[in-house]
Structure 1
Amino acid sequence: MTLLEGILVALAGVLAGGINTLVGSGTLITFPTLLAFGVPPVTANVSNTIGLVPGSISGAIGYRRELAGQRARVLRLSSASLVGGVLGALLLLVLPASAFEAIVPVLILLGIVLVVLGPSISRRVAARHAERGGLPHHGAWWVWPSVLLAGIYGGYFGAAQGVLLMAILGIGIDEALQRLNGIKNILGAVVNGVSGLVFAVVAPVDWQVVLLIAVGAVVGGQLGAKVGRRLPDPWLRATIVVVGLVALTAFLVG
């Protein structure tokens, strides 16, 4: 890889890290960039997954204020992401690419719709649980298995995983969207981290690419956190929808 290509990959990492912290779907920037520079698809997928982990951690650190008081919730949901990430990585190794290619656009569209309808749905969910004493601290019963399913998808191919997670968390947990975004960053880091470890054992890794994306993603994660934390909930929700629509278009056109 030439010096110019390395710089461009690092810049792609900055953009991906920022977008992942805000919403998710940073993979839609880094993965095509690596392919354009001649990195084999499998190596690009594996290296990209590992390289984006530090960016997710950086974004989570940027949201540390919003994460205050959510330790138990984060630990519980992280267990779902951990299991889901492993399962998703294993599915990538055994299933044909066409198996998930058909469902990815459907999942992204579902995530977008749920994000848009999130406030209305969450009010109804909260109202029902209010009659029973309110929502549990960890959210509705279906949040954990839904995060598990999102982790499976993320372990297979992480683009727009954040859109799905924000839809799940926003509807199932009675909490401010910014605080849920902090949780989303940690869950994304868990999925990418565990699936990356699985990939590293069974697939070729370009550690130069990993380093370049990681450095860029760490910077992007901090920038994304600074921007994202200042966005009012409606603007953050609108950003999620826009990025989700871009991701959906990219999959359908591609």
Structure 2
Amino acid sequence: MTPLEMLAVLVAGMAAGTINTVVGSGTLITFPVLLAFGLPPVTANVSNTIGLVPGSISGVIGYRRELAGQGGRLARLGVASLVGGLVGAVLLLRLPEGAFTAIVPVLIILALILVVVQPRLSRWVARRRERDDSAAPEHGGPVLFAAVCATGVYGGYFGAAQGVLLMGLLGVFVHDDLQRLNAVKNVLALIVNAVAAVFFLVVAEVSWQAVALIAVGSIVGGQIGAKAGRRLPPAVLRGVIVVVGLVAVARLLLG
């Protein structure tokens, strides 16, 4: 990479770390940048996943106060994320690269739709809670466990907007403060990314230069997201995500 390209990847990693901690979808920032600089799609996805793990850890540390008293919930749902993330990572490397190139544009478009409708989803969850005061399983029950596992498969395979999916599921099935649920989301996404990253380290081709740049940027971004990210205009963040996501779709489809 040229120095300018290295700076772009570093900045993209910082933006992704911030967005992942606040909402999710940071992959839609970093993945198109890596594609634009010539990395093959699967190598770009693998390197991106590994590089974002330190940023996920940073975000979890930033939300540590909200995690208090949620050990049981994290243990239960963490198993679902671990299993799902490993299955998704295996699928990424077992399926031919042509399948990834064909599937990912569809996944990105679905992720972009989720990003756009996320405010409405959040309002719907809030209204549902106001109407339904009945007791809910502390950990969301078996349906949430299965849904988190399925989300982990998606996250291990590609992962864009994994956080949006998790927040939607947690908000529907678990009655708790949304900031506490956001902290759980960060841990579950970290588990998926970490187990996939460990698998990729052993068997996949990795661009270590990209990994290092994204890692450094995402660590800084994770702290920004935990401390000040909630003050950033949500519409601006969503607009950036949609633009770069469309760029990624065009890059994959046009080659």
Please state which band the TM-score falls in when normalised by the shorter chain. 0.7 to 0.9
Taking the aligned partners of 1:198 and 1:224, their CA distance within structure 2 comes to 27
2:169 matched to which residue of 1?
A: 168
8 Å Cα contact 2:32-2:244 kept in structure 1: no
1:5 matched to which residue of 2?
A: 5
Taking the aligned partners of 2:73 and 2:60, their CA distance within structure 1 comes to 15
Match of 2:58, as an amino acid? S
Q: Deviations over 1:101-144 (max 9, x none)?
A: 445534653676576245545665786672xxx11211243111
1:207 matched to which residue of 2?
A: 208
The 3-state SS of whatever aligns with 1:205 is coil
The 3-state SS of whatever aligns with 1:52 is helix
Q: Which moved more, 1:92-101 or 1:52-61?
A: 92-101
1:105 matched to which residue of 2?
A: 109
Q: Which moved more, 1:99-108 or 1:222-231?
A: 99-108
Q: Deviations over 1:1-43 (max 9, x none)?
A: 2333222211111111001111111111111212222233222
Taking the aligned partners of 1:202 and 1:208, their CA distance within structure 2 comes to 18
- 1:31-42 aligned within 5 A: 31-42=31-42
8 Å Cα contact 1:16-1:29 kept in structure 2: yes
Relative to structure 1, is the Cα distance of residues 239 and 50 closer, same or farther in structure 2, using a 3 angstrom cutoff? same
Taking the aligned partners of 1:142 and 1:135, their CA distance within structure 2 comes to 12
Taking the aligned partners of 1:171 and 1:209, their CA distance within structure 2 comes to 37
Q: Specify every segment of 5 or more residues in structure 2 that has no aligned partner in the other structure, as ranges.
A: none
Q: Deviations over 1:197-248 (max 9, x none)?
A: 22222221122221111111000000011124568xxx87x78976776677
Taking the aligned partners of 1:128 and 1:29, their CA distance within structure 2 comes to 37
Match of 1:44, as an amino acid? A
1:69 matched to which residue of 2?
A: 69
2:183 matched to which residue of 1?
A: 182
8 Å Cα contact 2:47-2:208 kept in structure 1: yes
The 3-state SS of whatever aligns with 2:142 is coil
8 Å Cα contact 1:111-1:167 kept in structure 2: no
- 1:34-53 aligned within 5 A: 34-53=34-53
Q: Aligned pair 1:197/2:198, yes or no? A: yes
Relative to structure 1, is the Cα distance of residues 242 and 23 closer, same or farther in structure 2, using a 3 angstrom cutoff? farther
2:90 matched to which residue of 1?
A: 90
Match of 1:8, as an amino acid? A
8 Å Cα contact 1:78-1:187 kept in structure 2: yes
Count of residue correspondences:
247
1:15 matched to which residue of 2?
A: 15
Backbone CA RMSD of aligned residues: 2.8
The 3-state SS of whatever aligns with 1:209 is helix
Q: Percent identity?
A: 55
Taking the aligned partners of 1:107 and 1:18, their CA distance within structure 2 comes to 17
- 1:114-125 aligned within 5 A: 116-121=120-125, 124=128
Relative to structure 1, is the Cα distance of residues 4 and 103 closer, same or farther in structure 2, using a 3 angstrom cutoff? closer
Q: Aligned pair 1:136/2:140, yes or no? A: no
The 3-state SS of whatever aligns with 2:163 is helix
2:225 matched to which residue of 1?
A: 224
Q: CA deviation at 1:67?
A: 1.1
Q: Specify every segment of 5 or more residues in structure 1 that has no aligned partner in the other structure, as ranges.
A: none
8 Å Cα contact 1:17-1:216 kept in structure 2: yes
